[in-house]
Amino acid sequence: MTLLITVFAAIICTVIWYIKAPKSKMKLGSLCLMYWGASLMWLVDALFEYSELHSEYFTPAPMDMLNDSYLGLSVVALGLIIWLVIVLIKDPKGVVKATLFKKVTTEGEA
């Protein structure tokens, strides 16, 4: 479930990135790559687990599934938080700078 939720997050992000690119400055590409990176790593984890459990892998206990879903959603939230921090630090639109430094006069103005 964690893998599935992360893959869906990666797909949704990629679609949004494609719609907004190349003009968007919101660093959506970083968020996409973060989710894709995690998805690929969990895919490897899933393949190794499948090689041990075989068909049992597809019939997890309901409590395990619930825990994995909760984990998947938390991972998506954490990814969004990391992305938000990156956006606020890099400040591609200059919003944070504009908030911190209020313009008084422009050079050349009286």
Partner 1 sequence: MACFIVPAAEAVITSIATKVVKSKEDVPETLKVQFDNEKTEVVEKVPFSRKLGWLNNLLWGGSALLAFEHVWHGEVVPWFPFLTAAENAADTAEMLNEMSTVGVTMAILVTAIWLGMVGVTAAIERKTLKAGKYRIREEE
Contact 3, 71 (CB under 8 A): no
* Region from 15-23, 29-37, 58-66, 92-100 binding partner 1, contact rule CB under 8 A: 29-37
Instruction: Dump strand ranges (E) for the chain.
Output: none
Nearest one of 68, 64, 72, 67 to 38, comparing CA atoms: 72
Q: Which of 12, 53, 65, 82 binds partner 1 (CB under 8 A)?
A: 82
Q: Is the dihedral of CA 95, 86, 31, 29 positive or negative?
A: positive
Taking CB under 8 A as the binding criterion, the range among 15-23, 53-61, 74-82, 93-101 that sits at the site for partner 1 is 74-82
Instruction: Give the residue with the Cβ less far from partner 1, 43 or 65.
Output: 43
**In the complex, least distance from residue 16 CB atom to partner 1, rounded to whole angstroms:** 16
Judged by CB under 8 A, the residue of 12, 21, 25, 48 near partner 1 is 48
